[in-house]
Amino acid sequence: MIFTAMCLFLAEAEQTFAVEGKVPVVVITDLYFPAQDVGDNIDLVNAYLLPNIDLKAVLLDCHNEFRNREVLNVSKGLYHDKDGPREPGYSAVEQLNYIFDRNVPYAVGPFSSMNSPDDKMEYISNYESKALDLFKKVLEESDEPLSVVSFGSLRILAVANNRFPSLLKEKIKAVHICAGTSFNHPTFLEWNVALDTTAFVSVLKSELPINIYPCAAGDEEKVDPASFNAFIKDKNNTFYQIPNLNFFNYFPDKLKNYFHYALLRETKANYLALLDSAFCSDPAIFDRPHRVWETAVWMQVAGLRLVKHGESNIQLLLDEEVEAGDDILLEKLRPCTIKVKESGIFTYEFDESGDFCIYEREDPELYETWMNKALPDFYIDLAREKISDRKTHHIN
């Protein structure tokens, strides 16, 4: 279950990400304005905050259904959203660029679902092609292969692969997909797959180097039939829960204002200026639980380990910071083969010669316990280091 650092490095070296400099990353996210799942706004901070990540672009995966006041004809796996309308979350990316003094480009992809796995969607508007154009530009200009992390549907990636497959095969090091259901569950269609099942099938049938991090639990011995599979932990999914977000109160004011804006699903016109204000809201706004699926992806891409020093010191460390004798909570990407049905349901078999990888953690309960001990201090230290105290012109 827990391995010492030396043993882990010897046994699992071929499955870890050796970090040399920063890892160039393109993020695909179903981020909306106002927020649909506030977790998307919180998660995107990782791309700006984590060490060793060089964020090249944010591609917004948004869907026509959620641009309506109320979603009609909800498909299997999607909930009936009555809180619309929503539009692409440009403002959240602008806020993070402002907070971290960056100029990361962003663009939105196709709003409608693919018609077939080989659909190039050449019939869509130039506006809906913006994410595809930006993706192509970033790949062409990169001097080294990129990692793609996906926290929404796979539509942008699937269409890009249909339009310029050779470029993707040449310039993508790995695709990290946060989606799907673990343990070969025969029926449960996870949210990110259900958003566009055709796109999911298209990508899984491509020849891209794919790592899958299932969101939903599929271990039938663990799944409570009365519960929603995405809110249960097992060895091959990524879910865990943070009991409260009170540690956000220790972040710099700019970041606290950003989270406050997202949590309240605000739509204020001064969404940049408000970041410069002293945080004056009730700190209890952060006293709430938070569900998480994305951390495992970022840890693999950034080369982070969840470790214990001595008896009780739990930390998140870069690979090179881990010392001999440290206990490491084992996480890895296990090679496998995958078969996917037209419905989006997929099955996998572990095979060292397989072309895919599935995420695995040895002890989901201990993972949640350790993560809740290590994550707050890790984020607080990074935020204080990376967010400048520079005075930005404030508009009254």
What is the three-state SS of 261-326? HHHCCCCCCCCCHHHHCCCCCCHHHHCCCEEECCHHHHHHHHCEEEEEECCCEEEEEEHHHCCCCC
Please say whether the beta carbons of 139 and 167 come within 8 A: yes
Please give the model's pTM, rounded to 2 decimal places. 0.91
Give the per-residue SS3 of 163-186: HCHHHHHHHEEEEEEECCECCCCC
- The torsion defined by the Cα of 332, 335, 341 and 343, in degrees rounded to 10, comes to 10
Alpha helices in the chain (DSSP H): 5-12, 38-49, 90-100, 130-141, 155-163, 165-171, 191-194, 197-204, 253-263, 295-302, 364-386
334 burial via Cβ count (<10 Å: 0-12, 13-18, 19+): middle
* Mean pLDDT for back-to-back runs of 10 residues, the chain (396 residues): 40 36 95 90 96 96 85 69 85 97 97 96 97 98 97 97 98 98 92 95 97 94 76 95 97 96 90 94 95 97 93 90 91 97 96 97 96 97 83 45
* The two structure tokens encoding residue 62: 């948004």
- Answer yes or no: are the C-beta atoms of 256 and 8 closer than 8 Å: no
Whole-angstrom distance between the N-terminal and C-terminal Cα of the chain? 55
Q: Which of 28, 283, 261 is nearest to 158 (CA)?
A: 28
pLDDT of residue 134: 98
Q: Model confidence over 247-275: pLDDT tens digits?
A: 999 999 999 999 999 999 888 889 999 99
Among candidates 92, 343, 57, 90, which has minimal Cα distance to 196? 343
Please say whether the beta carbons of 223 and 267 come within 8 A: no
What pLDDT, on the 0 to 100 scale, is given for residue 229? Answer: 86
What is the residue whose two structure tokens read 């391995």? Answer: 3
| C-alpha Rg value of the chain to the nearest Å | 20
Q: Which residues, other chains included, contact 389 with Cβ-Cβ below 8 Å and sequence gap of 6+?
A: 252
pLDDT of residue 77: 65
What does the pLDDT read at residue 20?
53
Burial of residue 345 (CB within 10 Å: 0-12, 13-18, 19+) is buried
Residues 374, 371: Cα–Cα separation, whole Å: 5
**pLDDT, position 329:** 95
User: Residue 206 and residue 175: Cα distance in Å, rounded?
Assistant: 11
- Angle at alpha carbon of residue 350, lines to 346 and 354, rounded to 5°: 85
Give the Cα separation of 304 and 334 in Å (integer): 17
pLDDT for 396 = 40
The predicted pLDDT at position 8 comes to 39
- What is the spatial distance between Cα 342 and Cα 15, in angstroms, rounded to a whole number? 30
Q: What is the pLDDT of residue 5?
A: 43
